[in-house]
Chains A and B, each alone.
Chain A
């Protein structure tokens, strides 16, 4: 499932500067596409734009070659799963109840779960190693468990694409790697994943392509080695950095210097 934007401009009300200012980019089908950039560079806005939940001043977003505005919410949610930065659950809810919401776009008018829906829920829980959490109340989960459950809900949608906004923020290395490996495996099975992250080293290791945003504009786009270059990153992040290839592991690492 591919996404592309053409000269996309998004401006929030009463803001002088555009949140996205002429962004043209393409997410190839079946790739892990990382979106990097400093705070406020427009990463989350790009996510909303790809999901059709923000209005454009100009330009367009296409999902599978069709303008995103022509997709109904329900149609889009059957194909694209999304995990936002955070959410709070207002009332007590079990993990299974939360994950089963991923099936809502697929249910008929009476909302009855069929065997296939239950299978999708079980599969999603298992893939996120959350099967043992199913009966727990969401409020009692740790940060890492909650993120896994939210990703499980998105997977329960059986989407062809996943868009995630900093899914590993505030997670320890173990859980972070677990989630990235899960995403990588999903991509290898044919899914398209758009991953918004601050973790340059994770992008270097797992991404197929990288988009680097800076103040709403495309600073760089391309393969890992095309984007993760010292002079590009230093200008965008305004910090002295060193980019090296790890001699043993074989991928690029970015180290901020003092």
Chain B
């Protein structure tokens, strides 16, 4: 729908304000509450050493990770919805979550790594990569074109296969392993450090720029591949690049934060309801909205039952789904 420019500007301002606010809230609240002044002092490198450590080494990387992962998932979800022309599409649709979880759970079950180890994200990333390659391999086999229907179907099937692998591993594991595996699968930003932020950023930020540059092509792809070609789009190239990059962004997020559901599905829809289906607006705003949403969800996860931390994937679903249903109902009525 074509809304006036001023309204888009307002949406941009609201979201930029929201992401800043979410960052500040997320850094202020936790086991130790800090004032805005204390946070700003710590960020300038002065104030108490404890505060500096909490702000700079613990909470900031975690909040930034939330923006990267949440934004990446929402962006990747918006891209998948356009490419598959399917409102049910989400970032994990090519079996990425299954592959990543299988990789992580296998490492945990073998006892090779602790939950905090660096090898865990690596295993998850390799698992996601295997899933992506498998799905691509199947969908590419017919005359070197990427068949969207095959992609979707093989993604679901590969995901189901990895789910079975996970079930098998878990059924053979002891209770503590099962617990850490299940918790990993529900997603958490708790292990974030500047190093892990740097790794995720190195996939997400360049990837996001590439996806944003494809926004016009995605607009026409959403009305059909054949027509997109007649409007000047190199359809096969766009499909490969977009699927590949959107999957990599999701995989990088999954590797470090586990499986965080619903962000990639509902955030693009919510943004679409606000600003319409033009991907030149939809994609960047989805990134900002997804990042904000995940940072706030992570804040809730930390403080609601403190000192116990709830998996953030639980919060995104518990809070996100009712909010989304409300939006959906409102948009149907208007």
Chain A interface residues toward B at CB < 8 A: 13, 48, 51, 53, 73-74, 76-78, 80-82, 84, 87-94, 96-98, 101-102, 104-105, 107, 111, 134-135, 137, 157
Q: Which 9 A-B pairs have the closest CB atoms?
A: A105-B232, A77-B232, A82-B230, A90-B85, A91-B277, A74-B232, A94-B2, A87-B224, A90-B222
- The secondary structure that dominates the B interface is loop
Asked if B229 and A53 sit within 8 Å, CB to CB, the answer is yes
Min CB gap A164→B, angstroms? 11
The verdict on B174 contacting chain A, using a C-beta distance below 8 Å, is no
Asked if B2 and A89 sit within 8 Å, CB to CB, the answer is no
Asked if A104 and B277 sit within 8 Å, CB to CB, the answer is no
Q: For residue B222, which residues in chain A have a CB less than 8 angstroms away from its CB?
A: 89-91
Q: For residue B81, which residues in chain A have a CB less than 8 angstroms away from its CB?
A: 90-91
Q: For residue A107, which residues in chain B have a CB less than 8 angstroms away from its CB?
A: 216
A73 and B223 in contact (CB under 8 A), knowing A90-B86, A91-B87, A91-B277?
no
Among A13, A78, A105, A135, which residue has its beta carbon within 8 angstroms of that of B142?
A13
Alpha-carbon separation in the docked complex, A87 to B227 (Å): 8
Q: For residue B230, which residues in chain A have a CB less than 8 angstroms away from its CB?
A: 51, 53, 77, 80-82, 84
Q: For residue A13, which residues in chain B have a CB less than 8 angstroms away from its CB?
A: 142-143
What size tier do the contact residues of chain B reach? Answer: 20 to 34
Q: For residue B1, which residues in chain A have a CB less than 8 angstroms away from its CB?
A: 92-94, 137
Q: For residue B87, which residues in chain A have a CB less than 8 angstroms away from its CB?
A: 90-91
Q: For residue A102, which residues in chain B have a CB less than 8 angstroms away from its CB?
A: 231
Which of A13, A92, A101 has the largest number of chain B CB atoms within 10 A? A101
Extra pairs beyond A94-B2, A104-B219 (13, CB < 8 Å): A53-B229, A73-B232, A73-B233, A80-B230, A84-B227, A88-B224, A89-B222, A90-B81, A90-B222, A97-B219, A102-B231, A104-B232, A104-B233
Min CB gap A17→B, angstroms? 18
Alpha-carbon separation in the docked complex, A90 to B222 (Å): 6
The verdict on B234 contacting chain A, using a C-beta distance below 8 Å, is yes
Q: List 10 A-B contacts (CB under 8 A).
A: A13-B143, A73-B233, A78-B232, A89-B223, A91-B272, A93-B223, A96-B2, A97-B278, A102-B231, A104-B216
Alpha-carbon separation in the docked complex, A94 to B3 (Å): 10
Q: For residue B86, which residues in chain A have a CB less than 8 angstroms away from its CB?
A: 90
Q: For residue A134, which residues in chain B have a CB less than 8 angstroms away from its CB?
A: 2
Q: For residue A53, which residues in chain B have a CB less than 8 angstroms away from its CB?
A: 226, 229-230
The verdict on B107 contacting chain A, using a C-beta distance below 8 Å, is no
Min CB gap A121→B, angstroms? 12
CB-CB contacts below 8 Å: B197-231 with A: 215-216, 219-220, 222-224, 226-227, 229-231
Among A89, A90, A97, A104, which residue has its beta carbon within 8 angstroms of that of B276?
A97
Which of B216, B230, B280 has the largest number of chain A CB atoms within 10 A? B230
Among B85, B143, B220, B226, which residue has its beta carbon within 8 angstroms of that of A101?
B220
Min CB gap B5→A, angstroms? 12
Asked if B229 and A73 sit within 8 Å, CB to CB, the answer is yes
Min CB gap B87→A, angstroms? 7
Alpha-carbon separation in the docked complex, A29 to B320 (Å): 58
Q: For residue A98, which residues in chain B have a CB less than 8 angstroms away from its CB?
A: 223
Q: For residue A82, which residues in chain B have a CB less than 8 angstroms away from its CB?
A: 227, 230
Alpha-carbon separation in the docked complex, A80 to B224 (Å): 18
Q: For residue B227, which residues in chain A have a CB less than 8 angstroms away from its CB?
A: 82, 84, 87
CB-CB contacts below 8 Å: B64-107 with A: 81-82, 85-87
Please name the residue on chain A nearest to B219 by beta carbon: A101
Alpha-carbon separation in the docked complex, A133 to B219 (Å): 20
Alpha-carbon separation in the docked complex, A82 to B231 (Å): 8
Min CB gap A256→B, angstroms? 32
Please name the residue on chain A nearest to B86 by beta carbon: A90
Q: For residue B226, which residues in chain A have a CB less than 8 angstroms away from its CB?
A: 48, 53, 84
Min CB gap A167→B, angstroms? 13
CB-CB contacts below 8 Å: B233-286 with A: 233-234, 272, 276-278, 280
A92 and B276 in contact (CB under 8 A), knowing A13-B143, A84-B224, A137-B1?
yes
Asked if B231 and A101 sit within 8 Å, CB to CB, the answer is yes
Q: For residue A84, which residues in chain B have a CB less than 8 angstroms away from its CB?
A: 224, 226-227, 230
Q: For residue B224, which residues in chain A have a CB less than 8 angstroms away from its CB?
A: 84, 87-88
Alpha-carbon separation in the docked complex, A204 to B229 (Å): 31
Alpha-carbon separation in the docked complex, A92 to B272 (Å): 9
Min CB gap B117→A, angstroms? 42
Min CB gap A59→B, angstroms? 19
Please name the residue on chain B nearest to A87 by beta carbon: B224
Q: For residue A89, which residues in chain B have a CB less than 8 angstroms away from its CB?
A: 222-223
A97 and B277 in contact (CB under 8 A), knowing A13-B143, A88-B224, A89-B223?
yes
Please name the residue on chain B nearest to A93 by beta carbon: B277
Q: For residue A78, which residues in chain B have a CB less than 8 angstroms away from its CB?
A: 232
